[in-house]
Structure formats: structure tokens, C-alpha cells
């Protein structure tokens, strides 16, 4: 069986029943839905991660967990398409990235099993992916394997543990309504220092960690809320598994908690880079 994306490819709900607490992550995260949900923030992060990873003309780079291509777009802008490779376990996202970026080598693969020879790349980047890896240690060690000595590995993950992710307010409200809710704060890389520890374990040197910040203006509450109903990622799956009354309650509490529209939502991601 090929790789599966917890983020984008639908698995059977535990016990075959969609549970609000332990909802499986839905496949409704097709490219357009992703763009409207998380892509609106990840496009803002991409140039910052590329700067932090010191992506520069002439390099050959790999985008691990490319999704529908937010970071790939930035890499192609800086390099040539034929110098960029990208992988994602989701066939849907791979198809979207291929379609958007002819000339980029886009493959269905997970970080834990990269289909490239040792020392292929000058830079290997993973934007908002480490916390979705089935085995982040293995994923990082594969990223190191395919990079040349002296090359840069860089990754970032939203600050879910510090409550500064774009989804933090959503998860805070969800937890207020259901204290058992499983948010994303315990995931690998989602707290300060986590990525540094993973990078050390992967044998990288000269490791540096920083915070990347973005902010996005939402013209209306519905502009913010509606993408949560598209079933994308853990928050979308959680919302989709609620019944109509629970969903209306969640929506209402989010609206009461957010500032009046238009409002600007700042968000922060932890980013680490290291040298092989
Ligand atoms: C939040 S999205 C980030 C997508 C893109 N990098 C961006 O910044 O918009 C997480 C991505 O990680 C992918 N993913 C999940 N598990 C993965 C794994 N083990 N290896 C590589 N990618 C994975 C998902 O399919 C999804 O596309």
C-alpha cells in the first residue's frame, strides 16, 4: 500500500463511527479547500521559511509534504522549476502541485521514505509537516540522508502549544465546549525547542530555531469560519464530525470570542534549520 496522508486522505473513523472527540482526518482537503483553509496562512509563511533556509539561486531543493504547493510556489519563484522537487503522501495534493508547477518533479511519497538517492539536494524543507509525520524522527533522518554535506534542512510548525497558531482560538473554544477534545498542541514540533531536539537527534549541526510570524486580515467572521466547514485537517474533521447543534454552538462561541470584523489574526510558527 502506498503512503497515506493523515492530513488529506480519509481513513475510516475509529470503530466506523464519526466521533467528535476522535474524528478521523478527512479527505475533503482537496487543493482548493486547503487553499481556503490553511493555504491562506501557509503562503505567507513560505517566503519566510525559504529565507530562513537560505534558499538561493542555483540550488536543488526538496519540498517535503508540499500539499497543494504553497512552499513549492515560492521555491519555483526563487529557483528554476527543474531544480525543485516535491513530495506528499496525498495523491490529490500531488496532482494539484504538478498541475500548478509543470517542470517540478512532484511525487507521491512520505518523509519517512523519500524516493531519492543520498546527497541529492542542497536544501530540504518541510513547512507545517513535521507534526503530521507518522514518525518525525525517521522523517527528519530521511531528510538528512537526501541532503549533501553542508546543505540545509529547515522545517516549521505552528506554535500550537503556545496558543499562537492560526487555529488556536478554534481549539480553545472547542475545548471550552468539550474538555476532552484532542487538539494539535501535543504534536511533534508544536512547542518551542521541539524542532531543535528533533534536528539534534537527526545528527544536524549549527542548529538555529526562530519564530516566524504572519498576520492575515479577515474581512468578516464567515470568511474566517467557513473554511473550517470544508473538512480540511484535524480542525476540519473535528467540525465535520459534530452534529448541527454542536456545530452551531461552536460557530457562535468562536464569533463571540473573536474581535468584531474586520480583524487581523496574527500567528506564529517555530522554525528550525540545521546543516548536514
Ligand atoms: C498543513 S499541510 C502543509 C502543506 C504545505 N507544506 C503548506 O505549507 O501549505 C501538511 C501536509 O503534510 C502532508 N503529510 C502528512 N504526513 C506526511 C508525511 N509523513 N510525510 C510527508 N508529508 C506528510 C499532508 O498530506 C499535507 O499535505
Instruction: List CB contacts of 268: < 8 A, sequence separation 6 or more.
Output: 158, 159, 162, 164, 165, 211, 212, 213
On average, the pLDDT of the chain sits at: 90
- Higher-confidence residue: 118 or 27? 118
Instruction: List CB contacts of 170: < 8 A, sequence separation 6 or more.
Output: 228, 235, 254
pLDDT tier at 256, thresholds 50, 70, 90: very high
**Surface-to-core class of residue 25, CB atoms within 10 Å of its CB (0-12 exposed, 13-18 middle, 19+ buried):** buried
Q: How many CB atoms lie within 10 A of CB 57?
A: 8
Instruction: Please check the confidence at residue 4 and state whether its pLDDT lies above 70.
Output: no
Q: Is the minimum distance from the CB of 248 to ligand 1 under 6 angstroms?
A: no
pLDDT tier at 11, thresholds 50, 70, 90: very low
Ligand 1 center to residue 245 CA distance, Å? 31
Going by alpha carbons, the residue nearest to atom 26 of ligand 1 is 67
Instruction: Please check the confidence at residue 97 and state whether its pLDDT lies above 80.
Output: yes
Alpha-carbon distance of 99 to 94, in angstroms, equals 8
Q: Is the minimum distance from the CB of 37 to ligand 1 under 6 angstroms?
A: no
Task: Output the pLDDT for position 30.
Answer: 85
What three-state secondary structure class fits 94?
A: helix
Which atom of ligand 1 lies at the shortest distance from residue 134's CA? 19
Return the ∠ at Cα 255 (arms to 249 and 261), rounded to 5°: 160
Task: Output the pLDDT for position 184.
Answer: 84
Going by alpha carbons, the residue nearest to atom 1 of ligand 1 is 128
Q: Is the minimum distance from the CB of 110 to ligand 1 under 6 angstroms?
A: yes
Q: What is the pLDDT of residues 181-224, one digit of tens each?
A: 988 888 899 999 999 999 999 999 999 999 999 999 999 999 99
Task: Output the pLDDT for position 16.
Answer: 26
Task: Output the pLDDT for position 242.
Answer: 95
Cell of 76: 519555483
Please state the length of the chain.
276
Task: Output the pLDDT for position 9.
Answer: 52
Kindly tell me the number of DSSP H helices and DSSP E strands found in the chain: 10, 7
Ligand 1 center to residue 8 CA distance, Å? 8
Angle subtended by helix axes 194-201 and 136-145, to nearest 10: 60
**Surface-to-core class of residue 161, CB atoms within 10 Å of its CB (0-12 exposed, 13-18 middle, 19+ buried):** buried
Instruction: Please check the confidence at residue 26 and state whether its pLDDT lies above 50.
Output: no
Residues of the chain with pLDDT > 90, as a percent, come to: 86
Amino acid at each position: 500500500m502506498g503512503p497515506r496522508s493523515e492530513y488529506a486522505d480519509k481513513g475510516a473513523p475509529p470503530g466506523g463511527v464519526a466521533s467528535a472527540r476522535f474524528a478521523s482526518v478527512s479527505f475533503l482537503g482537496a487543493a482548493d479547500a486547503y487553499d481556503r483553509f490553511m493555504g491562506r496562512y501557509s503562503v505567507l509563511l513560505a517566503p519566510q521559511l525559504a529565507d530562513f533556509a537560505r534558499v538561493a539561486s542555483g540550488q536543488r531543493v526538496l519540498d517535503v509534504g508540499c500539499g497543494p504547493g504553497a512552499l513549492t510556489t515560492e521555491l519555483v519563484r526563487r529557483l528554476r522549476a527543474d531544480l525543485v522537487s516535491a513530495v506528499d503522501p496525498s495523491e490529490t495534493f500531488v496532482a494539484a502541485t504538478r498541475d500548478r508547477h509543470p517542470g517540478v518533479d512532484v511525487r507521491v511519497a512520505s518523509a519517512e521514505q523519500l524516493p531519492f538517492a543520498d546527497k541529492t539536494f542542497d536544501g530540504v524543507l518541510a513547512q507545517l509537516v513535521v507534526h503530521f509525520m507518522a514518525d518525525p524522527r525517521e522523517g527528519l533522518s530521511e531528510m538528512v540522508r537526501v541532503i549533501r554535506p553542508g546543505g540545509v534542512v529547515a522545517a516549521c510548525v505552528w506554535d500550537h502549544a503556545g496558543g499562537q497558531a492560526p487555529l488556536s482560538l478554534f481549539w480553545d473554544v472547542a475545548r471550552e465546549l468539550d474538555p476532552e477534545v484532542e487538539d494539535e498542541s501535543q504534536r511533534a514540533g508544536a512547542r518551542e525547542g521541539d524542532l531543535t531536539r528533533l534536528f539534534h537527534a537527526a545528527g544536524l549541526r549549527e542548529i538555529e530555531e526562530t519564530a516566524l510570524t504572519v498576520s492575515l486580515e479577515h474581512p468578516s467572521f464567515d470568511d474566517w469560519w467557513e473554511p473550517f466547514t470544508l473538512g480540511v485537517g484535524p480542525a476540519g474533521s473535528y467540525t465535520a464530525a459534530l452534529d448541527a447543534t454542536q456545530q452551531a454552538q461552536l460557530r457562535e462561541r468562536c464569533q463571540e470570542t473573536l474581535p468584531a470584523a474586520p480583524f487581523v489574526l496574527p500567528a506564529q510558527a517555530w522554525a528550525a534549520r540545521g546543516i548536514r
